[in-house]
Every structure is written in C-alpha cells, then in structure tokens.
C-alpha cells in the first residue's frame, strides 16, 4: 500500500525528514518512490526513482541537489493504475510545475476527469489516476479567488479514496492535506508540521498528532499552525491533538533480523500490555474502560456479529467460541467484505464488533458504515490508536500491542484474542464458572509464550524439514479450528506455499482424498474434550501415508504415536490455547519462509494495511 509523507517548517531538513519517513513506511510495500521540494527560489524540484527509498536518497545526493529544503512531500507508490515507472511515480504536477501532489488511494472517476481536462487542453504524461489532481487544481485556480479554494473545489470533484498532499510554489509557507477513506495523520511541533499515512513515519519528531476524518482539508503553515475544515459541510473543525502511546524505538528493528521475528518475541509483553490495568485477580473483575460509556447498552446485547478480514477474522472466530462459552451470547463472525453486501436483519440488541490491527482496512470500515444508521451498537477491537475504526465506532477496546510493521500479523493476533477473552469475561459479568480460571490463566500466559519462544530452534528444524512441500493441510476442532485457519494463512502469506484449513471433522467429507505422502498436515491436537476425535482424524491421515506435524499439550503421550513430528505447548485451558498454538504456527511459517529465501516482512503482492476495497 502506498505511503505518503510531508514536512513544512523552519528547519532546512525537509528532504531528509521525508526520506526517513518514507523509509519508515517501507513495510507497507511499494515499487517506486519520489519527492518534491521547494528550492531556494521557491521553484518545485521533483525527484523520482523506481525501487527503494535508498535509491531516491542516493539520486538526490548525487545530483548535488541540496537536501536543505523546507517544504517537502514524498510518496512510496504501490502501483494500482499504471506500471511501476519513474513517469508513474509520485509526485505528479501541472504543466508549469507550480502545483505538485502525492496521493494514496484510488480516484475512481479519474478517466472522466482526465477527458474533461484534456478537452480543456491539459496534457497528461502518466498513466496514473493521481495526475488528474494537480491539473484539476490548476484548472480551478483560474476561477477561484484563492489557491485554497481551488484545492477545495477540486477535492469536491474527486470520487474514490484519497489521502493527498498538495504543495504549490505560489504559497511556499503552506501545505494542504486532505483525506477521504485513506488514513492521514498530522504531527504537530513548535515551528514544524509533519504529515504521514501513519504515525510510524513521524513519531521520532513528535507524539502530538491530529487525525483527519473523511472530507477534511488541513491547511498547514510553516510556523506550525494549522486549520482543519470539513469541506463537505463547509465547517471549520477545532481538532485537539492526541498523544501517541508508544515510542519511536518500538517501531524500529532493534537487534532482530526481521520485524516478524521481533514482533513474535514481543508476544509475552503483548499479553501483559493487553491485560494491563484490566484484570483484577484479587476481586475477580475485568475492567474495560473503553466500554464504560456503553455499559447500559451492553446489558441488553443478545447477539454479537464480529466483522473483520484476514487474521483479524480468525481472531474473531476464537472470540466466537469465547463469548458464547463464557458469556452465553450467540455470536456470528462474518468476513467484512461479505457482510457489507448481505441483506440481513438486525435487532437493536445486536452489537457489531469490528476487529482490525490497523483500524484502516477499507472492507471493515465499509461494514461499519453500512450499519451506522441501523441503531446497533458498534464496537472496535483495534491496535492503532486514533485510527478510523477506533474513531467511527461507539466504543471499543484497544489492543495496546504497539506498532506492528511486518505484513504478517503476529502479535496483533495474540493481542486481539487476549482482548476478546477479556470482553467475553466482561460480558459474562463474572457468572461463568470459567471466569476465575481463565482470569488466572491470562496472568500466566506471558510465561507460557516465553516457553514457546524458547522452542524456536526446534521449530526451525521442523521448518527446514517441511520447507519443500507444495501443499499443506491444517486441521483443528473447536478452539483449534480458528487456529488451523490462522496457521494456514500465516504459512501462505510468508512462504507462498498452498495451505488450507479444515475443521478436522470434515476430513471424511472430502479433504482426505488429497492426502498422500506429498501432502502433509498440521494437526492442532492439544488437550481438549474433542482430542480423541482429532486423534481418529490423524489415524485416517496416517493410514494414507500422510505426514503429520501435531501441536500437542505438554505431557500428552498419545499424540506422538500418530504424528511424524510433534510440537508442544504448555498445558493451558482450551479457551486460552489459541494464543499459544498461534505463536507456534507463526514461528513455523516464519522459518519455512526464511528457509525458502523469502522477504518475510514484505511478502510479494501484499500490503500491511489494505485501505482499498
Ligand atoms: C494477516 O497476517 C494479514 N496481513 C492480513 O490478513 C490482515 O490480517 C488483514 O488485512 C486485516 O488487517 P487489519 O487487522 O489491519 O484490519
């Protein structure tokens, strides 16, 4: 997914600030990069490169172009319209290069705008949708009194999704930033303003941030002042700053070779942070401050619908079992991309729970927008503080996992399941007989994840043994069933190996036909009331010469008789096993991908935050 960064301020380090910001956004995935700045005569200078941000930095340095600039904007582009090329890279600009823009998102009506502008004599040089923006602003400068009005009028003509920065040589002390469905955060500091697609690109400069909402245009000044206008309602907004809840070094790699490994090793702290201040062992209570404002409504909830995508969807599947078992409330988990098109009835007793690490996933946002006037309670389980989903839901519970940079979600899944466990306990109002055991187990879980991380070498050996297979089946039952899906997704997305998940009970209904010695199975066979049934499925697989990697509970002696290889998790109630099982699967996927030489942090074709539908 593209990333945009902008700077305006009194220092002459604009280019360095933007280049460092773009480098911080590299985890989002891209294929070209570019930036534009005002030189000493306030003329716009543009530099673009296909490939990495470092190539852009090198090019700028080699051209002796002084990197001492103030107002600067830049972008890493993940090609949607137009192939990766220098011409298609951002920034784009008008004919006399007095206006330049960077843009993240998709202009859905770009073709009709392009044709309209070409009829007016405008010439296009790229294949991108973005290039319509500087030409459109140029067009409106001829009829609007001010440049800001031309920007506003142009934004009103755009349909689709955008986070856009506009710079003009006509106003060297001003930058314009606007958003519609594509995230944009503004960092505020004395005499300087930083703008980016997400906070990791600006946190080293400031923790005081302002998040723009849809249809908002920010006018940013070199002295660090700014205004925010809702250009749809033509209203100025008084938007206070928020304070980011993590430090810059948390978003750096540290001594790890990859973000994915670093973030898996954060699992123990992730659980501690997600439960911190929320579980009170001494009086058996769960305190979720983010739900207090809707406490009365929660008492009448008689149905929960969880909407999410990808890994967050599988966390939702775990949540389904937890809320039903601990709180006795029916739960349905739906893919956000399907939910938004269904014509399903909702009663006022329904709560919609959106789960999202980034808080910016377009499908999940669309699902929430679909029901915004249904009178249903909308809750968020989100990691990114201040993100769109966190702001458009009625209430919610933050995951507090800190920034997750690797495309493959690891610690966020663990945080999400931890939070869903807390929500299930909260909704049970302490009435479940499992309340105290699960509450105590949450306090014990960090140490158990440490024990799993200590098995990394054994998991790596297994990954080396199985890295060349082209197909994998993942099976599980009840709480192990969502784990089968999450494990299959992890393996797929970082190692590109075909992996599919099935409820273990489904084996006889078709999947068993695929099994032979070339098609191994990862079986979630941890201690639970349904383990015997899973052992029978393993027996069926073994009888067809299928190899089995089993995940079992420490102390269990029956599983290894049926499995080719066994990985053990510390004993834990079945309700909290998914966190431990997932960590084993994440490590397995990581090492298989590494053994096959893949870029584990930036898997091909994928983006960290899917902000387009
Ligand atoms: C998970 O490893 C993937 N990166 C992807 O499935 C992700 O979980 C999905 O895109 C949802 O993202 P979100 O949690 O930020 O909404």
pLDDT of residue 29: 64
Residue 321 shares a structural domain with residue 182: no
What is the distance in A from the centroid of ligand 1 to the CA of 407?
A: 8
Give the whole-angstrom CA distance, residue 498 versus residue 508.
Answer: 21
Mutation pick for ligand 1 pocket among 311, 363, 414, 501 (CB with most ligand atoms within 8 Å): 311
- The DSSP symbol for 402 reads -
pLDDT at residue 80, rounded to an integer: 63
Q: According to the model, what pLDDT value does residue 306 have?
A: 98
Question: Does the CB atom of residue 361 touch ligand 1 within 6 A?
Answer: yes
Query: Of 243, 271, 287, which residue sits at a domain end?
Result: 243
Count of domains for the chain: 3
The confidence band for 64, taking pLDDT boundaries of 50, 70 and 90, is: low
Contact (CB, 8 A) for 12 and 50: no
Q: Classify residue 160: in a domain, yes or no.
A: yes
CA distances for 229 relative to 202, 212, 239, 586, angstroms? 22, 10, 10, 44
Is the omega angle on the peptide bond into residue 91 within 30 degrees of 0, that is, cis?
yes
Mean pLDDT over residues 31-39, rounded?
A: 90
Q: Dump the DSSP string for 520-535.
A: -EEEEE-SSTTHHHHH
Give the predicted TM-score (pTM) of the model: 0.79
Task: Report CA(358)–ligand 1 centroid distance (Å).
Answer: 8
The CA distance from 528 to 537, in Å, is: 15
Contact 448, 570 (CB under 8 A): yes
Residue 578 CA to ligand 1 centre (angstroms): 17
**Average pLDDT of the residues in 509-516:** 95
Rg (CA), the chain: 26
Q: Determine if ligand 1 sits within 6 Å of the CB of residue 577.
A: no
336 Cβ inside 6 Å of ligand 1: no
Tell me whether residue 195 is in a domain: yes
pLDDT score of 285 more than 90: no
Residue nearest to atom 7 of ligand 1 (CA): 310
Q: How many residues are recorded in the chain?
A: 613
Active-site annotation, residues: 2, 608
611 has a pLDDT exceeding 80: no
Atom of ligand 1 nearest to the CA of 606: 4
Q: What's the confidence (pLDDT) of residue 1?
A: 63
- Centroid of ligand 1 to alpha carbon of 302 (angstroms): 28
Residues 264/410, Cβ–Cβ less than 8 Å:
yes
Q: In the predicted model, what is the mean pLDDT of residues 359-381?
A: 95
Residues 273 and 383 in one domain: yes
Residue 61 has pLDDT above 90, yes or no: no
Res 31: pLDDT: 79
% the chain with pLDDT above 90: 77
d(CA 488, ligand 1 centre) in Å = 14
462 within ligand 1 shell (Cβ under 6 A): no
Most confident of 78-92, 273-287, 406-420: 406-420
- Give CA–CA dist 493/603, Å, rounded: 7
Q: Is the CB of 46 under 6 A from ligand 1?
A: no
Nearest CA-CA partner of 417 in 335, 512, 317: 317
The CATH number of whichever domain residue 184 belongs to comes to 3.60.20.10
Q: What is the mean pLDDT of residues 93-115?
A: 94
Q: Is the separation of the CB atoms in 579 and 411 below 8 Å?
A: no
pLDDT tens, position by position, 240-274: 888 887 777 766 777 899 999 999 999 999 999 89
Q: Is there an atom of ligand 1 within 6 Å of 104 CB?
A: no
Residues 394 and 304 placed together within one structural domain of the fold: yes
- Average pLDDT on 24-28 reads 75
Residue 65 has pLDDT above 70, yes or no: no
> For residue 135, with 0-12 CB atoms within 10 Å meaning exposed, 13-18 middle and 19 or more buried, which class applies?
buried
| Test site for ligand 1: of 361, 363, 485, most ligand atoms within 8 A of the Cβ | 361
Beta-bridge mates of residue 167: 100, 175
User: What's the average model confidence in pLDDT over 478-506?
Assistant: 98
Query: Does residue 405 have its Cβ closer than 6 Å to ligand 1?
Result: no
Cβ–Cβ < 8 Å for 415, 578: no
Closest CA to 321 of 573, 129, 118, 595: 573
Q: Does position 309 have pLDDT exceeding 90, yes or no?
A: yes
The reply to whether 607 falls in a domain is: no
Ligand 1 centre distance from Cα of residue 606 (Å):
10
Same domain? For 483 and 443 the reply is no
Nearest alpha carbon to residue 137 among 109, 167, 162: 167
Are 447 and 469 members of one domain? no
Same domain, yes or no: 317 and 347: yes
349 and 366 inside one domain: yes
Structure tokens at 502: 């099935």
Whether 612 is covered by a domain: the verdict is no
Mean pLDDT across the chain = 93
CA distance 483 to 222: 50
Give dist(CA 552, CA 569) in Å, integer. Answer: 6
In terms of domains, do 510 and 553 share one? yes
CA 540, 543, 546 angle in degrees (round to 5)?
Answer: 85
Residue 122: Cβ within 10 Å count: 19
CB of residue 582 inside a 6 A radius of ligand 1: no
Q: Which atom from ligand 1 is nearest to the alpha carbon of 358?
A: 15
The pLDDT of residue 81: 64
Q: Is the CB of 130 under 6 A from ligand 1?
A: no
Give me the pLDDT at residue 66, please.
59
Q: Does residue 408 line the site of ligand 1, with CB under 6 A? A: yes
pLDDT at residue 493 tops 80: yes
Look-up of token digits 């988990």: 333
One domain, residues 221 and 259:
no
Which ligand 1 atom lies nearest to the CA of residue 384? 15
Q: Hey, whose CA ends up nearest to atom 10 of ligand 1? A: 310
Contact by Cβ (8 Å): 517, 471: no
Sequence-ordered alpha helix ranges (H) in 13-79: 14-24, 53-62
Residue 50 lies in a domain: yes
CA dist 45 to 56, 130, 463, Å? 13, 18, 49
Same-domain pairing of 367 and 482 = no
611 located within any domain: no
- Distance between CA atoms of 6 and 218, rounded to whole angstroms? 12
Three-class secondary structure of residue 307 per DSSP: strand
Residue having the nearest C-alpha atom to atom 4 of ligand 1: 408
Where does 468-557 show beta strands of DSSP type E? 471-476, 498-503, 521-525, 548-553
CB–CB of 466/459 below 8 Å? no
CB 172 within 8 A of CB 38: yes
Tell the residue number behind the tokens 């030189």, with chain if given: 39
- Which residue, judged by its Cα, is nearest atom 9 of ligand 1? 310
Expressed in angstroms and rounded, the spacing between residue 362 Cα and the centre of ligand 1 is 11
C-beta of 198 in contact with ligand 1 (< 6 A) = no
Any ligand 1 atom below 6 A from CB of 407 = yes
**295 Cβ contact list (under 8 Å, min separation 6):** none
CA 609 to chain centre: 4
Can you give the pLDDT at residue 507?
94
Cβ–ligand 1 contact at 29 (below 6 Å): no
Say how far apart CA 67 and CA 39 lie, in whole Å.
Answer: 9
Closest among 226, 106, 245, 243 to 162, alpha carbons compared:
106
Instruction: Read off φ and ψ for residue 378, nearest 5 degrees.
Output: -115, 115
Residue 335: inside a domain:
yes
% of the chain at pLDDT higher than 70: 97
The model's pLDDT over 175-222, given as tens digits with 9 standing for 90+, comes to: 999 999 788 999 999 889 999 988 889 999 999 999 998 899 999 999
On whether the CB atoms of residues 360 and 384 are closer than 8 A, the answer is yes
Mean of the pLDDT values across residues 66-70? 70
Statement: residue 305 has pLDDT above 80: yes
pLDDT greater at residue 23 or residue 250:
23
Write the DSSP assignment of 330-396 as a string of letters: -EEEEEHHHHTT------TTEEEEEEESSS--HHHHHHHHHTTTTT-EEEEEESSTT-HHHHHSSEE
Element (H, E) at 243: strand 242-243
Residue 580 lies in a domain: yes
- Residue 407 CA: which ligand 1 atom is closest? 4
C-beta of 388 in contact with ligand 1 (< 6 A): no
More confident position, 504 or 214: 504
Residue 251 has what DSSP assignment? G
* Dist. CA 605 → ligand 1 center (Å): 14
Cβ(357) – ligand 1 distance below 6 Å: yes
What ligand 1 atom has the least distance to the C-alpha of 412?
A: 14
- Say yes or no: 235 and 257 in one domain: no
Distance 493 CA to ligand 1 centre (A): 11
Residues 446 and 531 in one domain: no
Query: What is the domain range of residue 40?
Result: 3-243
Q: Domain ends where: 433, 451, 469?
A: 451
Q: What is the DSSP string of 392-432?
A: HSSEEEE-------SSS-SHHHHHHHHHHHHHHHHHHTT-S
Report whether 211 contacts 386 (CB < 8 A).
Answer: yes
Mutate which of 309, 337, 399 for ligand 1 pocket (most atoms within 8 A of beta carbon): 309
Q: Is the pLDDT of residue 284 over 90?
A: no
Question: Domain end: 243, 261, 287, which one?
Answer: 243
With beta carbons less than 8 A apart as the criterion, state whether 598 and 491 touch.
no
In contact, 157 and 135? CB cutoff 8 Å: no
Among the listed residues 554, 570, 573, 568, the one whose alpha carbon sits nearest the alpha carbon of residue 439: 573
Ligand 1 midpoint to CA 608 (Å):
7
pLDDT tens, residue by residue, 565-607: 999 999 999 999 999 999 999 999 999 999 999 999 989 888 7
Domain harbouring 516, CATH code: 3.40.50.10490
């Amino acid at each position: 997914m593209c990333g945009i960064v902008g700077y305006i301020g009194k220092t002459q380090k604009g280019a360095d600030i933007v280049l460092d910001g773009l480098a911080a956004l590299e985890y989002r995935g891209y294929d070209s990069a570019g930036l534009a700045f005002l030189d000493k005569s306030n003329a716009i200078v543009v530099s673009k490169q296909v490939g990495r941000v470092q190539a852009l930095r090198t090019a700028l340095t080699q051209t002796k172009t002084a990197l001492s600039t103030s107002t600067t904007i830049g972008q890493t582009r993940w090609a949607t319209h137009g192939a990766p090329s220098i011409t298609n890279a951002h920034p784009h600009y008008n004919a006399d290069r007095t206006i330049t823009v960077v843009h993240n998102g998709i202009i859905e009506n770009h073709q009709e705008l392009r044709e309209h502008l070409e009829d007016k004599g405008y010439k296009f040089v790229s294949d991108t949708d973005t290039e319509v923006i500087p030409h459109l602003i140029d067009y409106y400068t001829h009829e609007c009194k001010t440049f800001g009005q031309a920007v506003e009028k142009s934004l009103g003509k755009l349909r689709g999704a955008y986070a856009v920065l506009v710079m003009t040589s006509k106003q060297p002390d001003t930058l314009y930033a606007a958003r519609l469905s594509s995230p944009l955060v503004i960092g505020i500091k004395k005499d300087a303003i930083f703008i980016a697609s997400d906070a990791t690109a600006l946190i080293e400069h400031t923790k005081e941030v302002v998040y723009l909402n849809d249809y908002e245009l920010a006018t940013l000044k070199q002295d660090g002042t700014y205004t925010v206008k809702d250009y749809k309602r033509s209203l100025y907004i008084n938007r206070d700053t928020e304070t980011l809840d993590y430090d810059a070094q948390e978003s750096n790699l540290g001594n790890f070779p990859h973000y994915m490994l670093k973030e898996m090793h954060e699992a123990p702290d992730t659980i501690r942070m997600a439960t911190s201040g929320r579980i009170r062992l001494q009086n058996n209570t769960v305190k979720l401050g983010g739900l207090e404002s809707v406490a009365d409504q929660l008492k009448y909830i008689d149905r929960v619908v969880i909407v999410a995508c990808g890994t967050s969807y599988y966390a939702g599947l775990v949540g389904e079992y937890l809320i039903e078992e601990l709180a006795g409330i029916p739960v349905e988990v739906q893919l956000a991309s399907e939910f938004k098109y269904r014509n399903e009835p909702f009663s006022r007793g329904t709560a919609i729970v959106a789960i999202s690490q980034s808080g910016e996933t377009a499908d999940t946002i669309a699902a929430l927008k679909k029901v915004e006037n249904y009178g249903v309670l909308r809750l968020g389980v989100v990691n990114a503080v201040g993100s769109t989903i966190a702001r458009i839901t009625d209430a919610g519970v933050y995951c507090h996992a800190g920034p997750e940079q690797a495309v493959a979600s690891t610690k966020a899944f663990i945080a999400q399941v931890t939070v869903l466990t807390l929500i299930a306990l909260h909704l049970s109002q302490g009435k479940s007989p499992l309340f105290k055991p699960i509450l105590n187990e949450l306090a014990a879980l960090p140490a158990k994840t440490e024990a799993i991380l200590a098995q990394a070498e054994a998991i790596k050996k297994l990954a080396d043994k199985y890295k060349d297979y082209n197909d994998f089946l993942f099976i599980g039952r009840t709480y192990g069933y969502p784990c089968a899906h999450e494990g299959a997704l992890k393996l797929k997305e970082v190692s590109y190996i075909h992996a599919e998940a099935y409820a273990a009970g489904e084996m006889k209904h078709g999947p068993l036909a695929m099994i032979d010695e070339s098609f191994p199975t990862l079986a979630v066979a941890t201690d639970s009331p349904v383990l015997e049934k899973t052992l029978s499925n393993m027996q069926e697989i073994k009888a067809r010469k299928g190899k089995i990697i089993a995940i079992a509970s420490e102390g269990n002696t029956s599983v290894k008789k049926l499995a080719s290889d066994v990985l053990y998790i510390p004993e834990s109630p079945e309700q909290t096993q998914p966190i431990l099982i997932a960590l084993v699967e994440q490590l397995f996927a990581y090492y298989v991908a590494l053994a096959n030489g893949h870029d584990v942090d930036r898997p091909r074709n994928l983006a960290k935050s899917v902000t387009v539908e």
